[in-house]
A and B are shown apart, each in its own frame.
Chain A
């Protein structure tokens, strides 16, 4: 990959981030949705009187998945709405550039949402993190978000070309994310309970998943944005 490639990626990424920071329209909506999910989950689990440190990571990842189904529907949809996708395609010349830039943008959105959602969930659920391994928790969040963003970016590029994309997107996304869900939930759980050794295998699974679902979409992306 030529240095030119990364220059273009950086330019598109910067444009998207600037756009998002100036309007905040999408980020704020997603954040509020994430907070509502966290609140609803924590409250429901509180009512059910479950041991919070054991259900924390499962509830957390379901919340992240649902927030992601909103957050990740932005990358290409906004270009299609404003009619700028063609210009971007012509400007970048390479569809791989567009995929990587939009992937980085989606990943940043997700990580910003998690920055707010995860600590709040922790507080709301009243988890006692005596044995918490913060590094592992952060790693699981990062690796999980990576996979989510990679698949989400690809699927968003696909569904925006079709009518009914809002419904289609989660329908296509969730079954693909099952292995990621297993890795992410179990790794976060290990981090919360301080059982770091036993979950290293799942970290490798997350790494493998991220690698596969970054490379495969990159290879297929020429076909996604064809014509």
Chain B
């Protein structure tokens, strides 16, 4: 039996995801002051990373769409936005779980939190823009919005940072302020989440392509 790219990625993930959980919960030590709640960090950071990566892909694919006008590229942008939203939502939900016991508040207007929330809003706006039929105008305008929204991200971040910041900065230019095993667990999480993303995006692209095919067939049938 020939193992396709899909199955290969799928089975890799079947092995990787439980290993990631093992690394997070057993290999990485329990943080001395924060305790078990610090484990959320590995999911939180990895999900945020995918959210940002997905957003860069949306912007890149949007530029490529204006260039090539290929449906595949449009599907890549949309799939990436959808999956990015799921991960960003994960970041926004796991953050408060940690913040409440540690900061004694569910939410604060820290630059990272603010930027992440604005990012989430822009993702949702982008998906609303894309929803409801694949007309030429909709695809083109979504691509434009994908680009403008991307330009906005650093502006949000730097203006919010200028205002105030209490978010822990783990990764700085001097290195990563983490215990060796924790650092390893973080990188494993980042890697596994990235593999998950590269598995999900083409899968969703395929279903989007099928959806447009069905729409096309329906339209042909009605005419």
Contact = CB atoms under 8 A, between A and B. Distances in A.
Interface of A: 154, 158-159, 161-164, 168, 171-172, 174-176, 178-179, 182-183, 186, 201, 205, 208-209, 212-213, 216-217, 220, 223-224, 226-227
Interface stretch (B35-43, B79-87, B132-140, B178-186): B132-140
A216 B156 contact: no
Given A175-B121, A175-B125, A179-B156, A223 B148 contact: no
A178 B147 CA distance: 17
B56 interface: no
Given A168-B128, A168-B129, A175 B149 contact: yes
Contacts of B145: 158, 172
Contacts of A161: 137, 141
Nearest to A164: B132
Contacts of B203: none
Given A182-B160, A216-B148, A163 B155 contact: no
Interface in B130-169: 132, 135-138, 140-141, 143-145, 147-149, 151-152, 155-156, 159-160, 162-163
B36 to A, nearest CB: 35
13 contacts: A161-B137, A162-B138, A168-B129, A172-B145, A178-B156, A178-B159, A179-B159, A201-B162, A205-B162, A212-B155, A223-B66, A223-B143, A224-B141
A176 B159 contact: no
B122 interface: yes
Nearest to B152: A176
A150 to B, nearest CB: 11
B118 interface: yes
Contacts of A182: 159-160, 163
B137 A163 contact: no
Nearest to A158: B141
B194 interface: no
A188 to B, nearest CB: 15
Given A158-B141, A162-B137, A172 B159 contact: no
A179 B118 CA distance: 10
A163 B149 contact: no
Contact of A179 (B141, B144, B148, B155): B155
Contacts of B66: 223
A172 B144 contact: no
* Closest A-B pairs by Cβ, 5 of them: A175-B121, A179-B155, A179-B159, A175-B122, A161-B137
Most chain B Cβ neighbours within 10 Å, of A174, A176, A224: A176
